[in-house]
């Protein structure tokens, strides 16, 4: 919008020194078009009727990275209730090749029966240093399970009830904290400070909520997977180290099977993560099967992924 404030960004890009890109990031306010909160109620007989609501004005920090044929719109969105949304929206040209019938198992004809594009992933890895009320933090998963219990109030109808139950599990080491999403065991992923409680006596925390769960389908040591081994997990938790500023390196592409930085090394020592300065490593992304609507360019709606950082007690 016209009210945005712009910032320059400094990169190293095929030069011997820093390169400044003018107006490469911007900061602006935006009405999201959906209420932050609202409620309407009445009894349908005019005895009472009330409504309360609040507009959702957010602060957006945005930059756009053009990598080859794709543009990635990166947003950090700050909500008035303390939630932070990290979001990537993809657009640009799909990488094309000639379509012949023998490639039909791998892609569709997407333009004039002569052009196709292969199925591919868009994977992103974020380093999140939360520091919840200080740097002495721990990490837990809270599984939402099912409990089979006796119906004490109406034992004859039905004799048993099923109800949801919370099963917290504090992770003690980096290996124990490695997370792969499983629909059979849904979990909240919560970082908390054991010593800091809210007024109800519950420990204060922030949870990571994925918006764009991706599973790495290739075998762990196949091809270039070692150089993006962070993609094997939806979440990893490590102790903060200045020697681990990033989960990858520009030089990884020179030796993908024996990369300069292999993220698995970050958790191989399996350090204690209870009451430590912790870092969350979040993997998100989307799978893209190119189709005719990707011509002339892929549109951003439904081609987005990210995660939320949400206050939790």
Residue 186 has what pLDDT?
96
Options 2.70.98.20, 2.20.25.650, 1.20.1250.20, 3.40.50.150; CATH for 122-284 is 2.70.98.20
Sign of the dihedral through C-alpha 235, 240, 245, 251: negative
Alpha-helix residue ranges (DSSP H) falling in 125-166: none
pLDDT less than 50: residues of the chain: none
Q: In this predicted structure, what is the pLDDT of residue 288?
A: 96
pLDDT value of residue 100: 92
Looking at residue 47, its pLDDT comes to 87
Return the SS3 of 8.
strand
Predicted confidence at residue 154, as pLDDT, reads 79
pLDDT score for 156: 74
What pLDDT is attached to residue 151?
82
- What does the pLDDT look like over 109-119, one tens digit per residue? 999 878 999 99
The residues spanned by each domain of the chain are 122-284
Residues 268, 273, 279, 284, CA torsion sign = positive
pLDDT of 258: 94
Q: Quote the pLDDT of residue 266.
A: 97
Output the pLDDT for position 45. 85
Q: Are 141 and 167 in contact (CB under 8 A)?
A: no
Question: How far is the C-alpha of 179 from the C-alpha of 232, rounded, in Å?
Answer: 9
Query: What does the alpha-carbon distance between residue 251 and residue 248 come to, in Å, rounded to a whole number?
Result: 8
Supply the DSSP symbol for 15.
S
Cα(222)–Cα(234) distance, integer angstroms: 19
């Amino acid at each position: 919008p016209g009210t945005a404030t712009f910032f320059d960004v400094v990169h190293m890009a095929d030069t011997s020194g820093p390169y400044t890109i003018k107006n490469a990031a911007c900061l602006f306010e935006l009405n999201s078009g959906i209420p932050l909160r609202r409620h309407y109620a009445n009894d349908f007989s005019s005895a009472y009727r009330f409504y309360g609501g609040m507009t959702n004005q957010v602060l957006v920090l945005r930059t756009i990275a053009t990598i080859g044929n794709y543009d990635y719109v990166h947003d950090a969105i700050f909500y008035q209730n303390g939630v932070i949304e990290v979001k990537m929206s993809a657009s640009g040209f799909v990488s094309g090749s000639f379509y012949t019938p023998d490639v039909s198992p791998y892609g569709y004809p997407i333009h004039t029966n002569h052009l196709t594009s292969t199925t591919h992933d868009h994977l992103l890895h974020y380093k999140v240093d939360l520091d919840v009320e200080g740097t002495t933090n721990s990490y837990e998963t809270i599984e939402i399970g099912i409990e089979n219990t006796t119906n004490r109030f109406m034992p004859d109808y039905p004799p048993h009830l099923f109800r949801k139950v919370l099963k917290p599990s504090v992770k003690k080491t980096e290996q124990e904290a490695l997370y792969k999403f499983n629909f059979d065991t849904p979990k909240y992923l919560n970082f908390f400070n054991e010593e800091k409680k809210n007024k109800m006596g519950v420990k204060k925390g922030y949870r990571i909520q994925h918006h764009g769960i991706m599973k790495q389908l290739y075998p762990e040591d196949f091809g270039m997977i070692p150089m993006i081994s962070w993609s094997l997990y939806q979440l990893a938790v490590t102790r903060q180290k200045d020697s681990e500023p990033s989960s990858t390196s520009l030089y990884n592409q020179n030796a993908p099977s024996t990369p300069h930085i292999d993220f698995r090394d970050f958790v191989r020592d399996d350090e204690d993560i209870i009451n430590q300065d912790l870092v969350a490593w979040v993997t998100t992304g989307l799978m893209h099967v190119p189709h005719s609507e990707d011509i002339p360019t892929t549109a951003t709606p439904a081609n987005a992924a990210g995660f939320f950082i949400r206050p939790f007690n």
